[in-house]
Amino acid sequence: MNDSTLAAAKPAVVLLSGGLDSTTCVALARELGFEVHALTVAYGQRHDAELAAARNIASAMNVRHHKIAAVDLGEFGGSALTDDIQVPKDTPHEDIGKEIPVTYVPARNTVFLSMALAFAEVVGAEDIFLGVNALDYSGYPDCRPEFIRAFESLANLATKAGSEGKSKYRIHTPLIDMTKADIIKRGTELGVDYSLTVSCYDPGGGGGGGGGDGATQACGRCEACALRRRGFAEAQIEDPTNYQTGAGAS
């Protein structure tokens, strides 16, 4: 999409975590003709690799605007991603998603979508993209279609433009019924550079992630790494992730 097309495109807010799914959402939103305003949330996560990855992705994909906003969910804790709780490792694939894991961050997607809605009101966007998935995921309750529908209804009740009938807010979840392999295939078709993305819940090598700057490492053993590795294998596409030495394949 060239600059003149971007200038004429409708704005959309895309929640960009720096991960595989959200990066694919950026590509899909652009393919649909939207001008992407990317929002990354620094929510008190224990590592900042995904924030660095989000910056790199936003730059590489030439989004119209990239904002990093802070809200410290670490103040509440209760998650292995924000608190001093061990990240589960080596979970059998058939057990992933059976229970809500300790990597679930309480109310995270509710908070993220609320922030995206505020951003959308300011930039005049009616469309918000979120890379949730209800198939190959870890069982988080705020990734389910019924949650998305409920938030969309809330968005149209709780905003000035919605209450005045001037806007109809839409929450787009284009990946929700896709397998991780299908997501990777689609993103690859759209030219997504997955080496820039971070998926790992417990990155090592000096605080690195699933990719990011190419020098950091993913643990290779958490549920996010397991789903990522399996997705690339099933898609029959080379996984560009820099995993820690000795991390076993899932």
Burial of 31 (0-12, 13-18, 19+ CB in 10 A): middle
Residue 38 lies in a domain: yes
- The answer for 91, left when phi > 0, alpha when psi is -120 to 50, beta otherwise, is beta
Distance between CA 63 and CA 109 in Å, rounded? 22
CB 176 within 8 A of CB 131: no
φ/ψ of residue 173, rounded to 5: -130, 70
pLDDT of residue 247: 57
User: Any idea what the CATH number is for the domain that residue 150 is in?
Assistant: 3.40.50.620
Contact criterion met (CB below 8 Å) for 211 and 53: yes
Residue 193 falls inside a structural domain: no
- If one counts the domains in the chain, the total is 1
Could you tell me if residue 74 is inside a domain? yes
Tens digit of each residue's pLDDT (9 = 90 or more) over 54-104: 999 999 999 999 999 999 999 999 999 999 999 989 888 877 767 888 899
The residues of the chain scoring below 70 in pLDDT are: 1-8, 97, 136-138, 205-216, 245-250
**Range(s) of the domain holding residue 175:** 3-180
In a domain, 92, yes or no: yes
